[in-house]
Structure 1
Amino acid sequence: MYYVSESPVHGRGLFASRTIEEGELLGKLKGEPTTTDGPHVLWLTENSGFKVSCDLRFINHSKQPNAIYYDDLTVVALCEIAPDEEIVHDYGDDWL
């Protein structure tokens, strides 16, 4: 469904290996809770983070996202994603 490769956005990114349909589940984040900031940490609340350990950690930021993270830690396509298109998520204004 996806693969990790060099990204024009930042470092490495996650790319579609086939057409991904709008609403399709990309997966559920795997990792562990953390209170320490660092690479690949998704902040769920001000004091509660989740250090992502699966390939979904390579989803980069974009103000034109094609994927979304839900509170249950699933990641879903917001629109059709073409093969070799980078999968991106809007990290929010606080991230910038």
Structure 2
Amino acid sequence: MKGFSALDSHDKPFWVPTDGIVTIQLKGHVFSVQSVNKNGLLPKNLYEMVMVLPDNLVRINKNTIINLNYVKEFRKPNVVLITGDIHTVSRRNLANFRQRFANL
């Protein structure tokens, strides 16, 4: 099973499967991961993560990666997730997002 090793709020490592990731967001100098079951921090840089992301995880702006399986609706330029969170798709990432969202 593909995934990432993350750290919880007590700096204890736990496994986050990629299909359970809802969002990955850059907060300061660390990545915060929101998963179905747990939230934590990813000790990786963006370049490392983008190189190993599966097709269902897509970068929508310079700070955010979302799981297309958790998109409720797309209202240009915003994406509404099933969690109720709203994220903006940047102009630079819009074409790639539309293509990948359409291929679901």
Same fold (TM over 0.5): no
After TM superposition, the score normalised by the length of structure 2 is 0.25
Q: Which one has a larger percent helix, Structure 1 or Structure 2?
A: 2
TM-score (normalised: structure 1): 0.26
Higher RCO (C-alpha under 8 Å, 6+ residues apart):
1
